[in-house]
Amino acid sequence: MALALFGSAAVYAQGQGLQLRSPSEERALPIIVDADRIEGVAGKDTTARGNASLRRGGLSIRADSLTYHEGNEEVEASGNVRLQRNGDTLKGPALRYSIRDATGLFEKPDFTFTPRPKTGQQPVSARGQ
């Protein structure tokens, strides 16, 4: 089951480089929630359980379950959480993330940042506790 919600900076490939979308362009894109089960109230909260995912532009959050709070554009995710944004990947057991501010709190993160300035560099990986 998938649900598109219309509601921060994403990237899309163009030619040889990456092009940043402006925050206003990004906000114009729909938020797509997909899961085995979805319930919620339009304009408020949407909860997705079982193979849950939320996508908007270059942002993708996957988890066992997640709740999207439309009013403040925040996502709470738990269970095998994986966030991908602009080529970077973060994994952990739980996440609270602000789509609007592109900030959040990840429990026990394991992350890989993709280098941007030079081509051919290896990604930077680390693990938190």
Report how far apart the first and last C-alpha atoms of the chain are (Å, whole number). 34
Give φ, ψ of 23 to 5 degrees.
-55, -35
pLDDT score, position 65: 98
Instruction: Kindly report the pTM of this predicted structure.
Output: 0.73
Q: Which positions ≥6 away from 61 have C-beta within 8 Å? A: 53, 54, 55, 75, 77, 81, 82, 83, 84, 95, 97
pLDDT of residue 25: 73
Pick the CATH number of 2-127 from 2.60.40, 3.40.50, 2.60.450, 2.60.120: 2.60.450
| Residue 77, token pair as written in the block | 């995710």
pLDDT of 20: 54
- Range from 19-23, 71-75, 99-103, 104-108 carrying the lowest mean pLDDT: 19-23
Summarised one tens digit per residue, pLDDT across range 22-78 is 556 777 899 999 999 999 998 899 999 999 999 999 899 999 999 999 999 999 999
Question: In angstroms, rounded to a whole number, what is the distance separating the alpha carbons of residues 68 and 70?
Answer: 6
